Amino acid sequence: MPVLSGSNSRPLAKELAIELGMNHISMEARRFPDTEGYVRLAIENIEAVRSEPCVLVSTTFPDSGIIETLLLLEALQDVRAGRTDSLKGGVPNELPDVGPGIFLAIPYFGYSRQDKRFQPGEAISAKAIGKLLASRCDGIAVLDLHAPEALDEIGVPVALTSCMPEVAKHLQDTIAPDFILSPDKGAIDRASHVANIIGCKFSYLEKTRIDAHTIVHKAKDLDVDGSIVAIVDDMIATGGTICRASEALHTQGAIEVHAACTHGLFTGGAISRLDRFVDGVHAANSLQNPRAVISGAPALARGLMELLK
């Protein structure tokens, strides 16, 4: 089963190929001067993609990642179906359709936070993107999807996978936390999973988001005096959630506070902001960033195995 990648997830795709004991194939994915995308599977790799099921590793972030993922899937579908119509210079030997067998592994699913209608008239963006992707593949494995129900009933099997076991191991090996904190109710399952693996204390905060940059946490007594604490979330964007949670922890006596997440978006100066509030930031490599120290490959491999069984 070849593991393919375009431009946005190549290092992680290579790690996944090693994890699965498969070959990695780079697809050409570049931009024209006007920013429109171009993709191609090299002729020497066509047989590999047709001879067995294949996996494409590609994120849907930023928006250009959505287009690139769709084009890569379209190219793979055409290759597997033996489609050569419109080929400039004439049609080569006709190849039969080899049937379904394209799986998409998504390290970071962009638009995952618009998982419901918060006001009338809104699009459920996560569902819209999910349906587009599902129209061009036979199954999707997604790493730490913000709200799993967003991809219910999109037309293909979806395997939700998580790198929290790897986050737990990394935190235990590097900082050995005494306490894990979920910064809001939405991250409770993920953060408590990490606490259970490590075998340490756990609690959560209740968060209200006033706007993209303003976070308020409800006051709560946390048993963190003298503790090393790791705040665990699925993603860090502006860093506001983590910075406010860290303030609460320091106020209550925590001696060290770290932040850990799967998806390090780190928008608008988030890393320098975080550096003022926490002692360390530990992210998985679903997105390339300066704090990506945890591999998402084992989790994606587990998701793919679930799809293939």
Q: Supply the residues annotated as catalytic.
A: 207
Q: In this chain, which of 6, 53, 130, 239 binds ligand R5P, going by CB under 6 A?
A: 239
CA neighbor of 59 nearest in space, from 108, 18, 23: 108
Measured in whole angstroms, how far is the alpha carbon of residue 180 from the centre of its chain?
22
What are the residues whose beta carbons fall under 8 Å from the beta carbon of 106, sequence distance 6 or more? 57, 58, 59, 60, 69, 133, 140, 141, 142, 143
Of the residues 171, 233, 278, 284, which one makes contact with ligand R5P according to CB under 6 A: 233
Binding mask 252-291 for ligand R5P (x = CB under 6 A): ----------------------------------------
Residue 187 binds ligand R5P, judged by CB under 6 A = yes
Measure the CA–CA gap between 51 and 221, rounded to whole angstroms: 59
130 binds ligand R5P per the rule CB under 6 A: no
273 burial type by CB count under 10 A (0-12 exposed, 13-18 middle, 19+ buried):
middle
Q: Check if the beta carbon of residue 31 is closer than 8 Å to that of residue 37.
A: yes
Question: Under the criterion CB under 6 A, does residue 145 sit at the interface with ligand R5P?
Answer: no
Binding to ligand R5P (CB under 6 A) within 165-184 occurs at 183-184
* Residue 42, burial from CB neighbour count under 10 angstroms (0-12, 13-18, 19+): exposed
Q: Does 236 bind ligand R5P (CB under 6 A)?
A: yes
Query: Which residues ranging from 202 to 231 are in contact with ligand R5P (CB under 6 A)?
Result: 215
Q: Name the one residue in this structure whose structure tokens are 């697809």.
A: 27
**Nearer to ligand R5P among residue 102 and residue 181 (C-beta):** 181
Q: Please select the residue that binds ligand R5P; options are 234, 254, 258, 260, rule is CB under 6 A.
A: 234
Shortest separation between residue 152's beta carbon and ligand R5P, angstroms: 19
Residues in the site for ligand R5P, rule: CB under 6 A?
183-184, 186-187, 215, 233-241
